[in-house]
A = this chain, B = another copy of it.
Amino acid sequence: MLENVDLEKSVDKKEYRAKISELGPRIGELQRRAKEEKIPIIIVFEGWEASGKGTQINKLLLCLDPRGYNFHLTDKITEDEMYRPYMWRFWTKTPEKGRIAIFNRSWYHRVLDERVEKAVPEKIWTSAYDEFNSFEKQLCDDGAVVIKFFLHIAEKEQEKRFKKLEGNPATSWKVTKEDWKQNRRYDKYLDAVEDMLTKTSTPYSPWNIIESHDARFATLKIFTTIKDAIGKRLNSTGASKNLQQIELAPVPNSILDKVDNSLSLDQEEYEEILKKRQKELWECEFRAYGKRLPVIILFEGWDAAGKGGNIKRLVQAMDPRGYDVNPIAAPSDTEKLHHYLWRFWNKVPKAGHIAIFDRTWYGRVMVERVEGFCSENEWKRAYTEINEMEKELVNYGAVIVKFWINIDKDEQLRRFKARQDNPGKTWKITDEDWRNREKWDLYKTAVDEMIFRTGTNYAPWTIVEANCKFYARIKTISTVIKEIRKKL
């Protein structure tokens, strides 16, 4: 593929000056318009060592308002990143709507250097392609522009550049052993590069190969590509979202209809078992900490189903150093400036820690769907997006336990009324609860569809029969213990 690229293309100074004096201000203007239209832009620079990435980035930055971009050099890994899934460090760096994130090296590090240097097993880097494609697709579907450059130079040219840098005392430090290693293994890297270009050039985020022997030619091609990509996106605002209606296979049957809500446990038995289980969970927590196992526990359920009470019994005997409880409310205004999964990526637990979510990313396919807070395509797309995210978390080694806390409609009414009649509990019931209750059937359809589409073998749902609180609490804690032990 790269063999046939004509690397000798060049541009003379005069032509360059004429063109750049138009392109530069044009890109500045497009940055401003993208800001107004709240379009997030991601620009990735990959390429050979000494291909001129730094120089090209600096030229680009000169055209931009520095208040509107963030620059990321992601070659070194921090302590925080080491104990998180690979894509965590990139998800958390995705730009706010209207801002630009520029990456010098990127997630592709994994399928280039880490692959060639055998820093990760083959299984890891081969599955990374899917992660990258879904990452970029999710962002583009949400309205982002992702522009990827690969700066290409020939083996001989790279050697020549290294020697030139080494010959000058002021720049000789720039050439490292690793650089020479890349030159010696040029062919191996080339295989990796071609594989990457093939597997991750997608309609939504294609690779742009930049012939980089002539720096002026490279600059003009980079600038033109950026101008065209942002321009295209501006002319089709929102179009990507609404173009085509997503069609999904029908939901075969109701899962909630089959739940046996009569399951119960008496108080005495409950208290006895609870004590035992809490002790077991405490041990699990310590072992999970020792083995650096990340654990993610999700709670969804009907209003008044007892999510809070379940969570309380769960953490009661746990060591507070080991867990965090994340109550999820409506997204904040900052969170709204990002992909809806961004705020959850930010809350991925460190390896060895337990993150408990009271309501979760499933809000997208429940409340946001039912209340019309997102478009039909958005919530339909979310099933895949969520499955992809959970898959990545599981690949990274996490235990995911997903609970649907279920009560029937009569039981909810009993609890609402009991709360209203008890002065110590009236705060627990709001007008919104009553409004939600009126939409019971709409929610039921949404829940059935959610459980059907996101009940995967790697992250299955556990439906908790919760008309009897005692039974429910024992079931949740027992399930958590079982799932953690499975992985230990």
Contacts and interface: CB of A to CB of B under 8 A. Distances in A.
Interface of A: 29, 32, 36, 57-58, 61-62, 65-68, 70-71, 73, 78-80, 102, 104, 308, 311-312, 315-316, 320-321, 324-325, 327, 332-334, 356, 358, 424, 427
Contacts of A104: 320-321
12 contacts: A32-B427, A36-B427, A65-B308, A65-B312, A66-B311, A66-B312, A66-B315, A66-B356, A78-B79, A80-B80, A104-B321, A333-B334
Most buried by B among A32, A320, A332: A320
A77 B411 CA distance: 49
Contact of A321 (B65, B66, B71): B71
A311 B67 contact: yes
Contacts of A29: 424
Contacts of A358: 67
B332 A71 contact: no
A320 B32 contact: no
Nearest to A79: B79
Contacts of A356: 66
A320 B67 contact: no
A164 B67 CA distance: 61
A104 B311 CA distance: 22
Nearest to A334: B332
Contacts of A324: 70
Contacts of A315: 61, 66
A403 to B, nearest CB: 15
A324 B325 CA distance: 32
A58 to B, nearest CB: 7
Contacts of A320: 57-58, 61, 71, 73, 102, 104
A377 B316 CA distance: 42
A105 to B, nearest CB: 11
A102 B324 CA distance: 12
Nearest to A68: B327
A67 B327 contact: yes
Nearest to A71: B320
A387 to B, nearest CB: 27
Contacts of A79: 78-80
| 9 tightest Cβ-Cβ pairs between the two chains A and B | A71-B320, A67-B327, A66-B325, A332-B334, A79-B79, A66-B315, A73-B321, A332-B333, A333-B333
A95 to B, nearest CB: 13
A279 B67 CA distance: 21
A325 B66 CA distance: 6
Nearest to A317: B58
A365 to B, nearest CB: 22
Contacts of A316: 62
Given A66-B356, A71-B321, 8 more contacts: A32-B427, A65-B312, A66-B311, A66-B315, A67-B311, A73-B321, A104-B320, A333-B333
A27 to B, nearest CB: 14
A311 B320 CA distance: 45
A70 B347 CA distance: 14
Nearest to A102: B320
Contacts of A66: 311-312, 315, 325, 356
A311 B65 CA distance: 9
Contacts of A427: 32, 36
A311 B69 CA distance: 13
Nearest to A62: B316
Nearest to A326: B67
A401 to B, nearest CB: 16
